[in-house]
Copies of this chain bind each other. A is one copy, B any other.
Amino acid sequence: MKAETEARTDTRKRILDIAEELLLTRGFNAFSYQHISRELGVRNAAIHYHFPHKTDLGTALVERYIRRLERFIEQHGEASATAQLERFFELADAYFRNDRQVCPSGILTVELHTLPVEMQVAARRFIEVMRQWAERIATLGQVEGSMRFAGTPAAMGLTMLATLQGGLQLARIEAAWLNSIKQQIRCLLGLAD
């Protein structure tokens, strides 16, 4: 039955949702199964039932990110470079508005050395998807003629990713900085002055 299937996966999904919030606000090392179980109103062992090891939970989390991101990119793949850039910005904005979360790639790279290997591999994949999208936007913008910048599209895309990743983190100190940085990226791409 439909209801049964929903019930079956509901707890698992809620665990992932809570863990996602915790990952993006506190980092992987600074949240525990207890944080989740308390919030969810279940016992600690219930989390272990769905995700035997914390590694499993972390990896599942990153892999969900990758799926979501790929779907998001696909949805906007036909748009113009400038429109895609704004979607790119909106992604960052959405993170920030939700409890001043930072970009997952920020968390994952900062904690990289302490992460289980399986998560590291997933993290690399996530970042590569992100980077390739940024590069594609820069390439398209140059081809379209809508964006004008020095250097290669590959370097520009990578730089945009780095800037937004760092910017999202710095915005925790001063919220206004995020808009400043987005506007400056537009400037640097010849989209404003």
Contact = CB atoms under 8 A, between A and B. Distances in A.
How many chain copies does the complex carry? 2
A106 B166 contact: yes
Contact of A166 (B150, B165, B183, B190): B165
Interface residues of A, number: 51
A177 to B, nearest CB: 6
Given A110-B110, A193-B151, A159 B173 contact: no
B180 A158 contact: yes
A30 B169 contact: no
Given A150-B188, A150-B192, 11 more contacts: A26-B111, A27-B29, A29-B29, A109-B170, A151-B183, A151-B192, A155-B184, A159-B180, A159-B188, A166-B166, A166-B169
